[in-house]
Structure 1
C-alpha cells in the first residue's frame, strides 16, 4: 500500500499520559490524533488535534470519535470493547487491537485461561468467587498467595498479596469480590517485552527488567540483568503471546523469571507443571503502550508510541532495536492527600547529559500517582545498571513542595 503524508487521523479512547506521548510521536508522521476522555482538558489535550469529553463507555463520544478517525485505538483497559465494536460496525472504522483481545485482557481469569490453553506458561491459578474459594485456593497453592481482581485492575492496581486464611474476607472486600488467586511466584526478577503486531509483521523490543515497589512500577533497566538464555526465552514467550492476540498494535507483556521450578498450568485442568528452574512465566498483558516501554522514546530507534501509531494504521513497522543502555525511573510522590502538582528541582535533570524529563501534564498529585518519568541513556555505558544510581539521584532531587 502506498502511503501519503499528511495521511490519517487516529481516534484514541483515553487521553492520559499514554495518549499524550502518542500525540508527541504521531505529529512528525503527519498523523493527527483526536482523543475521548472523561476529564476535560486531559493530559493529552495540549498535544493532540482535539478532545471529545466522554466516559470510556460513552457511545456518543466513541461514535463521534469514529466519525472523525480512520482507525480507532485505546490507551487504557477501561475502554469499552462492546461500544467500540458496535461503533466500528456502524461506521466501518476499524478498531485495533481487536475488541475481543481487550475483552480477554480485561478479565484476568479469562486472560490466564487463554494463555494456559495455548500452552503459554503462567503461574498456577484458581478462580475465586467467595471466601471459601479463596481459602481452598490457599490450601492448594500455598500461603501466601496473590489475589487479583478479575476486572478493573491494571498496572498493578487490584493486586493484593494474602498471607493466611484469616485475611481472606478482608482481601476479597479489598479487590471487590470475584477474583483470581495465583501462586506467589518466587522470582529472580521481573521482566517485560514490548511486542508489536503490524499488518504483516511482528516485532519485539529488547527484554527489559522492571523494578516494582508496592505493586507499582518504579524503574526499568534495559538490557535486563538476566543472562542471554533467559532473555532469549523471554522473547520466545512474548512471540507466543502475540500469536494468540488479535489486532494490530503494541502490547506490553509482563513476565517473571523464576528462581526455582514453578507450576505453570491452570490448576483446574490437572496438567503437570510445565516450568523448570529459571523458567519464564507470563504475569499480565497490556494491549497498548506500557510504562515498561517508556525507555524506547530515547533508548530505541523507534519509540513504542510511534510504533503503535504505525501498527494500528497498518503502516510498515519501525526498527525496534536498542540505541543505548537505558534506565527510566518514575516520578511519584507519597502524598497522603491530593494537592496541586508543581514540580521543583528539574534543573539538574535538564543539565545532565543523556537525561530526559517527561512530565505528564496532570494538575493534581495523588498518592503514588505517576506524574512523569526520567530516562537516562549512555551509549558508552557497558551496562545499564551503571546508570541506575545516577537516575535515582536525579529523581530524588525532584520535589512537589
Structure 2
C-alpha cells in the first residue's frame, strides 16, 4: 500500500463523544470523517466534515454514508450489522470491525458462548427467560448478575439478584431475554485496549484499572496496580480475545481480577472505549488514532506508555435534565499536569458522561509506583470534584 495525504474519507455510524474524538484524531492524519447520527448537530458534528441525520440502523442513511466514504466503521453497537454489510458490498467499501463481530457482541449470551467455545476464561453463565428458571440459578450460584442480552450499556440492563425472591422483579426490569452470570468476587476491574490491524498485526495497550460506582466508570488508572503475573495474564487473555474476533479496529476488553489472581473476561466493545481515553495523553498513539489507522489498513502506531495516567469522567451531577454548563473548569485549565475533554452535549442529565479529564505524571526514580498512582488518582478526583453542572442557585440552597 502506498499512502498519500490528504487521506481517504472515513464513515462512522454514531456521532457521540467517541465519534467526536475519532474525528479529532483523524484530522492530523489528513482523514476526513462523515458521521451518521439521529441527533441533529451531534457531538461529533463540529469536528467532522459532515453529518447524515438518521437512525443508527436506518438503511437509507447507511447506504448514503457508504456512498460518500472510502471505508466504514461504527462507534456504537446499535448499528445494524446486516445493513452495514449490505451497504459495504453495494458500494465496494470495507467495513471494520467485521459486521459478524458486531452481531456477536450485540447479544451478550452469544458473546459469552463464543468466548466459552474458544476456551477464554469468563464468569459462569446461563440463559434465563422465566422467573422460575432464574430462581433456580440464583440458588445454585448463590447470587447472579442478570444481564439483558441486547441493548444494555453503562450498567443499564444489568440487575444484581442476590435472593430467589427477587427474580420476577429483576426479569421485569431487564425486559426480554436475559442471561445470568455467577457473581464474581473480584479484587479489581481491569481493561485492556487491543488493536487489530492489517495482515494480522495486533497490539495491546498497558493494562488499566477501572473504578466503577453505580455501574458507571468513574476513573481509570494506568498502569493498573496489579502484580506482574496478573498483568501478564490480562494481556494474554486480551490477545486470545482478539484472535476470536474478526475485523480491524480497536476493541475494549473489560476484565475481572479475582481474589485468587485469575483473570476473567467481563464484556467486550468492538470500538474505542471509555477505559482507553487515557491513551490520548498517556500513550504514544491514542486508541482513536489507532482505530482510524486500523480501519483504513494503515500501519498501527506504537501503544507504549509515555506517562502514568488517571482519567476521571465528568458526569452529570444534577437531579434533572437541563442545559449543559460546566462550572469550576478554571482549576483544571490552570493545572500543568491535567487535560480536559468536553464532549459537546447540549443537555446534561443525571450521571450522563459529559467529558473527562486526565492527569499525567511519572513515578520518577526512587518513588514508590503505588504511591505515585495514588497521588495521581487523588489529584484527578480533586480536580473533577471542583467542577459541577449545578447552577449557583442550587449551590447556595445546599
Q: TM-score under structure 2 normalisation?
A: 0.95
CA contact (8 A) 1:77 1:154 kept: no
Question: What pairs up with 1:151-166 in 2 under 5 angstroms?
Answer: 151-166=150-165
Deviations 1:197-252 (A, max 9, x none): 00021000000000000110000000001011100000000000000000000000
1:118 corresponds in structure 2 to: 118
TM-fit CA distance, 1:162: 1.1
Q: What SS does the corresponding residue of 2:353 show, helix, strand or coil?
A: coil
- Deviation (angstroms), 1:166: 1.2
Judge conservation of contact 2:317–2:388 (CA < 8 Å) in 1.
no
Instruction: Name the CA distance, whole Å, in 2 between partners of 1:354 and 1:334.
Output: 24
For the residues of structure 1 that align with 2:344 and 2:190, how far apart are their CA atoms?
28
Find the partner of 2:346 among 344, 360, 363: 363
1:63 matched to 2:46: no
Q: Deviations over 1:140-195 (max 9, x none)?
A: 2112x101100001232211111211111111111112101001100000000000
Measured after TM superposition, the shift of residue 380 of structure 1 is 4.9
Match of 1:267 in 2: none
- Structure 2 matches for 1:206-355, cutoff 5 A? 206-259=206-259, 277-355=260-338
Residue matched to 1:149: 148
Q: Is the 8 A contact 2:142 2:162 kept in 1?
A: no
Q: 1:398 aligns with which of 379, 387, 392?
A: 387
Q: Does 1:23 align with 2:18?
A: no
Distance, in Å, in 1 between the alignment partners of 2:64 and 2:233 is 43
Runs of 4+ in 1 over 4 A off after TM superposition: none
TM-score, length of structure 1 as denominator length: 0.94
CA contact (8 A) 2:139 2:163 kept: no
Q: Deviations over 1:49-96 (max 9, x none)?
A: 000000011011101110011110000011111110111121111110
Q: Does the CA contact (< 8 Å) of 1:9 and 1:71 recur in 2?
A: yes
Q: Give the deviation of 1:379 after TM superposition.
A: 3.0
Partner SS for 1:384: helix
Matches within 5 A, 1:3-152: 3-143=3-143, 145-152=144-151
d(CA) in 2 for partners of 1:113 and 1:335? 39
| SS in structure 1 at match of 2:241 | helix
**Structure 2 portions without partners, runs of 5+:** 392-398
Query: Which secondary structure does the structure 1 equivalent of 2:253 belong to?
Result: strand
* CA distance in structure 1 between the partners assigned to 2:258 and 2:110 by the alignment: 23
Alpha-carbon distance between aligned partners in 2 of 1:148 and 1:366, rounded to the nearest angstrom: 24
Aligned to 1:376: 359
CA contact (8 A) 1:127 1:133 kept: no
